[in-house]
Amino acid sequence: MGNLATVEVKAFVPARDFGLSKQFYQDLGFDLAWSSDALAYFCHGDSSFLLQNFYVKEHADNFMMHLLVEDADAWWQHVVDRDIAAKYNIRANPPEDQSWGIRDFILVDPTGVLWRIGQNIS
C-alpha cells in the first residue's frame, strides 16, 4: 500500500491586516520563523500555523483554531499580563472547564478568528 505516514498538518489562518496580525501572534507568544509578503510561518514548540495575507469576511468569521496546551491558566495569565485584549481591542474570555474534558479560554484575533486555548482535564 505504500508509506501513508504523515508529518504534520498546518492551517492557513486569514489576516485582514497582515502586519497587525503578525504582531498579535508574536505578542501572544508564537515565534515568527519565516515571513514573506503573502505568508508568515509561526511556531511554538511542536505547534505551528501559516498566517496568510488574505481575507474574506465570510471565511474569517467562520474560522476557528484549537491550541492544546499543558497549562491553560498559564496561557491565560500571559494574555492578561500582556494586556492583549485591550491592546488589540479583541474579545478574550477567561478559562472554564468544559463538559468535553477540556479547560479552555476563548481569544478572538484581530481578524475575527476564534481561538480556543485549552488543556485536557480529568
What is the model's pLDDT at position 122? Answer: 77
CATH of the domain at 82: 3.10.180.10
Residue 17 located in a structural domain: yes
Residue 24 located in a structural domain: yes
Nearest to 49 by CA among 64, 70, 71: 64
Q: Compute the distance between CA of residue 116 and CA of residue 114 in angstroms, rounded to an integer.
A: 7
Quote the mean pLDDT of the chain: 96
Q: Domain count of the chain?
A: 1
Residue 94 located in a structural domain: yes
DSSP state of 91: -
Q: Which residues of 47-77 are buried (b: 16+ CB within 10 A; e: fewer)?
A: ebbebbbbeeeeebeebeeebebeebeebbe
Residue 7 located in a structural domain: no
Check whether 75 has a pLDDT greater than 90.
yes
Residue 5 located in a structural domain: no
Domain with 104 in it: 12-120
- In this prediction the pTM is 0.93
Residue 2 located in a structural domain: no
DSSP state of 70: S
